[in-house]
């Protein structure tokens, strides 16, 4: 789908004082979002719409770092879709025991529940099951105690004075912890939901603390058959599912970490769950009986069958009002907590199988990013309002709300349909002609320039990009280093796509001052027949991607990342005024396109589906 300008309004905090650079002209950048003020540490900004028309945001916050004394649950209300927020309301005081990781649930009656961890016994440390871990003790006590709830009957302005504990069934993982289950370890980040007259709240049980903090985890689902009808909260009943002693774990042979389950309901009443592991892949399972039993867990895959990649970070699935789905993840095969920037999103649609409905997933797009690659954004929530889409996120300090360009989501869902070739920003389209001249290449966008509105003439980042698309055929081994296309000058200005010995391609970029390069996944040039390649330079997050034959490269089994960052000081890619194309080696280019912007993944997929005749 062609990208059109997104009419994102400029909130007051984006207007800089004189002589200060403006916020990025890219709605995907974190600084383009609206802040949700809290205290120093701020986590899990989850939002529900109240019956009086407000947005109610619940946060876990505190005056110190994550997991330290003073951590508590608060809420804020907004009457203008997150542009401004009313005064903070403390659901639990910061002077009390730790209260953490609240998730909201609004009932049709208007009553709102918050479910969260509460360090009921005010323990100050617990045993760690890995002796090298801080002397065998863990001083962080925000993931234990009782799972409790409070409620509000005035749209989140005030909360019940009493908190109510939920009776959670003991399981094997509890009895095997260092206390034999007398102290329970757990937390929750998954969205609570209603289905068939019942209420459901995910829960993540913990087997112990050690290296990596949690050393063993698994997922459970709490179900209340009478939360919707029982006005007396002390009489609310709860079941703990799945049945038996084992919760949702990783596939056979997977690691011990199986946590932060996110669950949605499909149109045939199937529950679909996805969660994180330390295996380098997200895990998913389905339940046909509302959580009592589940299919054997499997690593989540794209519609083309390739496993998705994801580190130890939150990955959430949401069902949208139009019946389609969105999936937030980080699109690389890490096994720890790092590299949560950028955040990626896939579109999901339902498909019928012999065992009932399931979800199939599109190729991903970058949803949000920050210029600092070490920034870690996570724990999002999705809000829909009058056909508009918003997402929250936090970097543990400043939660923000972002409005999503709807064309990005439409493109994700549209990947399963035939669409026209993208024409917006197309500056060159070339098909071979006998003895024809090299095609002229119009000027490419400037990426960086000096800002003459600043007193020091500092950098103005235009966040522009470019895309090279090729249809090609290989009739034999292609020599490593052979050029496919290039506008490179002798002094290093411009770009070159060249062959690699493994059958992949390498994109090199230069402006005469800095150089960058990134390589595709291997194999593209090793097979005969028409192949499709799209190489994109995205000047927002400064990322290079390759889409080959309609699939976004993800690094395969050989590397953690399929996408790579280029030098943020690169000023532009103009080189020779004509495009040199493959000649004298076994690659024949049958179609070349150059765009003066970064194509979205969905557009690259659409161009592939349109074929050579598109």
396 and 511 together in one domain? no
Q: Among the three residues 393, 417, 441, which one is the final residue of a domain in this structure? A: 417
| Residue 127 placed within a domain | no
The answer to whether residues 458 and 577 belong to one domain is yes
Q: Compute the distance between CA of residue 206 and CA of residue 174 in angstroms, rounded to an integer.
A: 7
Coil, helix or strand at residue 93: coil
Mean pLDDT for 104-125 is 98
Domain boundary among 417, 438, 470: 417
If one counts the domains in the chain, the total is 2
Same domain assignment for residues 459 and 573: yes
Report the distance separating Cα 8 and Cα 14, nearest Å.
12
Same domain, 402 and 536: no
> Residue 31: left (phi > 0), alpha (psi -120 to 50), or beta?
alpha
Q: By residue range, what is the domain housing residue 330?
A: 248-417
472 and 559, same domain (yes or no): yes
CA distance 272 to 226: 23
Coil, strand, or helix at residue 286?
Answer: strand
Assign 450 to helix, strand or coil: strand
Q: What is the pLDDT of residues 323-371, one digit of tens each?
A: 999 999 999 999 999 999 999 999 999 999 998 999 999 999 999 999 9
What's the gap between Cα 226 and its chain centre?
34
Q: Are 542 and 559 in contact (CB under 8 A)?
A: no
Q: Which of 391, 417, 443 is the last residue of a domain?
A: 417
Q: What is the pLDDT at residue 434?
A: 72
Q: What is the mean pLDDT of residues 309-316?
A: 98
Whether 319 and 466 map to the same domain: the answer is no
Give the total residue count for the chain.
614
Give the integer Cα–Cα distance in Å for 266 and 412.
Answer: 19
pLDDT, residue 22, reads 54
Is 297 inside a domain boundary? yes
Q: Is residue 172 part of a domain?
A: no
DSSP type of residue 322: T
Which of 101, 33, 113, 40 has the alpha carbon at shortest distance from 383?
Answer: 33
pLDDT at residue 6 above 80?
Answer: no
| Residue 387 and residue 440 in one domain | no
Do 395 and 448 reside in the same domain of the chain?
Answer: no
Mean pLDDT for the stretch of residues 284-300:
98
Instruction: Give the pLDDT score at 499.
Output: 95
Return d(Cα 198, Cα 192) in angstroms, integer. Answer: 11
In contact, 48 and 381? CB cutoff 8 Å: no
Cβ proximity of 44 and 481 under 8 Å: no
392 and 441 assigned to the same domain? no
Of 370, 385, 375, 380, the closest CA to residue 400 belongs to: 380
Q: CA nearest 59: which of 120, 103, 95?
A: 103
pLDDT in tens, 416-462: 998 999 999 999 999 988 767 889 999 999 999 999 999 999 999 99
Say if residues 120 and 97 touch (Cβ distance below 8 Å).
Answer: yes
Task: Let me know: does 327 contact 345? Beta carbons within 8 Å.
Answer: yes
Reference 42, options 402, 401, 394; nearest CA is 394
CA 111, CA 215: separation in Å to the nearest integer?
Answer: 37
Residue 386: CATH number of its domain: 2.120.10.10
In this prediction, residue 14 has a pLDDT band, given cuts at 50, 70 and 90, of: very low
| Least trusted range by pLDDT, from 128-137, 289-298, 416-425, 576-585 | 128-137
Q: How far apart are CA 495 and CA 575, in angstroms?
A: 8
Check residue 23 and give its pLDDT.
52
347 in any annotated domain: yes
Taking the CA atoms of 439, 443, 446 and 449 in sequence, report the sign of the dihedral they define: positive
Mean pLDDT of 92-99: 97
- For residue 135, which phi and psi values (nearest 5 degrees)? 70, 20
Identify the pLDDT of residue 12: 34
Mean pLDDT of the chain: 94
Residue 40 lies in a domain: no
Cα gap 41→341, rounded to integer Å = 19
- Within 139-219, residue ranges assigned H as helices are 172-175
In the predicted model, what is the mean pLDDT of residues 138-151? 97
For the segment 157-200, what is each residue's pLDDT rounded down to a tens digit? 999 999 999 999 999 999 999 999 999 999 999 999 999 999 99
**Alpha carbon distance 240, 221 (integer Å):** 6
Q: At a CB cut-off of 8 Å and minimum separation 6, what does 554 contact?
A: 306, 308, 309, 331, 332, 333, 521, 561, 562, 563
| 485, 406: one domain | no
Rounded-to-integer distance, Cα 508 and Cα 518, Å = 7
Residue 383 burial (CB count, 10 A) = 20
Q: Which of 11, 84, 33, 81 is CA-nearest to residue 343?
A: 33
pLDDT in tens, 17-74: 344 445 568 999 999 999 999 999 999 999 999 999 999 999 999 999 999 999 999 9
Q: What percent of the chain has pLDDT over 70?
A: 95
Claim to verify: residue 271 and residue 390 sit in the same structural domain: yes
Is the CB of residue 541 less than 8 Å from the CB of residue 611?
no
Asked if residue 49 is part of any domain, the answer here is no
pLDDT band at 230 (very low <50, low <70, confident <90, very high): very high
Q: Does 491 share its domain with 393?
A: no
Least confident window among 9-23, 78-92, 145-159, 489-503? 9-23
Is residue 87 one of the residues assigned to a domain? Answer: no
Q: Give the whole-angstrom CA distance, residue 171 versus residue 238.
A: 15
Work out the average pLDDT over 109-134: 91
pLDDT confidence of residue 24: 66
Q: What whole-number percentage of the chain has pLDDT above 90?
A: 89
CATH number at residue 435: 2.60.120.200
End-to-end CA, the chain: 14
Q: Cα 315 from chain centroid?
A: 6
Contact call for residues 594 and 470 (beta carbons, < 8 A): no
| Angle subtended by helix axes 406-414 and 601-610, to nearest 10 | 40
| DSSP 8-state symbol, 28 | T
Q: Quick check: is 572 in a domain?
A: yes
């Amino acid at each position: 789908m062609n990208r059109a300008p997104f009419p994102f309004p400029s909130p007051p905090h984006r207007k800089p004082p004189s002589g200060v650079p403006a916020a990025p002209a890219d709605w995907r950048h974190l600084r383009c979002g609206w802040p949700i003020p809290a205290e120093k540490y701020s986590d899990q900004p989850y939002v529900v719409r109240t019956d009086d028309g407000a947005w109610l945001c619940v946060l876990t916050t505190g005056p110190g770092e994550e997991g330290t004394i003073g951590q508590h649950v608060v809420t804020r209300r907004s009457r203008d879709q997150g542009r401004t927020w009313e005064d903070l309301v403390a659901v639990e005081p910061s002077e009390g025991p730790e209260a953490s990781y609240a998730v909201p649930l609004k009932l049709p009656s208007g009553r709102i529940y918050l479910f969260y961890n509460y360090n009921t016994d005010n323990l100050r440390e617990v045993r760690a099951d890995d002796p090298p871990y801080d002397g065998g003790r863990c001083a962080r006590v925000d993931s234990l105690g009782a799972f409790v709830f409070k409620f509000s009957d005035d749209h989140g302005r005030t909360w019940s004075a009493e908190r109510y504990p939920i009776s959670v069934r003991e399981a094997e993982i509890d009895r095997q912890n260092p206390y034999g289950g007398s102290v329970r370890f757990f937390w929750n980040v998954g969205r609570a939901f209603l289905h068939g007259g019942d209420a459901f709240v995910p829960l993540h049980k913990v087997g112990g603390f050690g290296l990596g903090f949690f050393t063993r985890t698994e997922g459970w689902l709490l179900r209340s058959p009478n939360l919707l009808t029982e006005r007396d909260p002390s009489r609310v009943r709860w079941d703990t599912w799945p049945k038996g002693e084992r919760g949702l774990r990783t596939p056979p042979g997977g690691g011990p970490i199986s946590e932060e389950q996110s669950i949605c309901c499909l149109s045939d009443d199937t529950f679909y769950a996805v969660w994180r592991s330390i295996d380098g892949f997200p895990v998913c399972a389905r339940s046909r009986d509302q959580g009592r039993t589940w299919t054997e867990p499997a690593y989540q895959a794209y519609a083309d069958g390739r496993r998705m990649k994801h580190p130890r970070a939150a990955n959430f699935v949401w069902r949208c009002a139009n019946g389609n789905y969105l999936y937030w993840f980080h699109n690389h095969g890490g096994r720890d907590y790092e590299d949560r920037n950028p955040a990626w999103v896939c579109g999901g649609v339902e498909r019928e199988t012999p065992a009932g409905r399931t979800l199939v997933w599109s190729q991903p797009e970058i949803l949000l990013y920050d210029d600092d690659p070490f920034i870690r954004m996570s724990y999002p929530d999705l809000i829909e309002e009058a056909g508009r889409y918003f997402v929250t996120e936090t970097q543990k300090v400043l939660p923000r709300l972002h409005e999503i360009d709807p064309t990005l989501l439409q493109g994700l869902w549209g990947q399963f349909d035939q669409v026209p070739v993208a024409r917006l920003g197309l500056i060159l389209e070339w098909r071979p002609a006998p003895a024809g001249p090299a095609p002229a290449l119009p000027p490419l966008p400037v990426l960086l320039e000096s800002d003459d509105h600043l007193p020091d003439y500092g950098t103005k980042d235009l966040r522009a990009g470019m895309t090279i698309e090729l249809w090609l055929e290989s009739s034999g081994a292609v020599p490593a280093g052979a050029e496919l296309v290039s506008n490179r000058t002798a002094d290093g200005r411009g770009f070159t796509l060249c062959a690699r010995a493994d059958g992949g391609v390498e994109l090199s970029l230069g402006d005469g001052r800095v150089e960058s390069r990134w390589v595709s996944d291997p194999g593209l040039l090793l097979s005969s027949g028409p192949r499709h390649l799209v190489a994109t330079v995205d000047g927002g997050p400064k990322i290079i991607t390759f889409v080959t034959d309609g699939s976004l490269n993800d690094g395969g089994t050989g590397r953690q990342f399929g996408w790579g960052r280029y030098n943020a000081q690169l000023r532009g890619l103009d080189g020779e005024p004509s495009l040199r194309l493959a000649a004298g080696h076994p690659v024949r280019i049958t179609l070349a396109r150059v765009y003066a912007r970064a194509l979205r993944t969905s557009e690259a997929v659409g161009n592939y589906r349109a074929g050579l005749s598109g």
